[in-house]
Amino acid sequence: MNELTAPQLVELRERLNKMQQELTGLLENSSEGALPVALEQPIGRLSRMDAMQQQSMVQANRSAARTQLELVNAALRRISASDYGDCLACEEPIPFSRLQVKPETALCIDCQRSNEQR
């Protein structure tokens, strides 16, 4: 049912591989910033609050990156299984233009909207 051409599939696979590398790098490079703020450090109250806020933002960014990495990995698995490009909900082909914008997507725009409205 997949209507993607071979060059389109190559382009999307390359983008997904690049996203995978970037997200993995982001997670590796931000691990230190997500560590708990040591309370015994001799810093002022405002500096400690700022450090805790920074830690919270790093943790949120890492969580979002992990979620996106899971989607990217799932898309790469679907490419390997020749299931990529078809909506997982309605099984219709996802337009190439949508996949160019969001190559990790598993749903067509109509199914995505329906999913978000629930």
Distance, CA of 26 to chain centre: 11
pLDDT computed for residue 1 by the predictor: 47
pTM of the full predicted structure? 0.80
Query: Are 12 and 103 a contacting pair, CB within 8 Å?
Result: yes
What is the identity of the amino acid at 47? Answer: S
H or E segment to which residue 56 belongs: helix 45-80
Residues contacting residue 52 through CB under 8 Å, at least 6 positions apart? 37
> Which segments in the chain show pLDDT lower than 70?
1-2, 33-46, 48
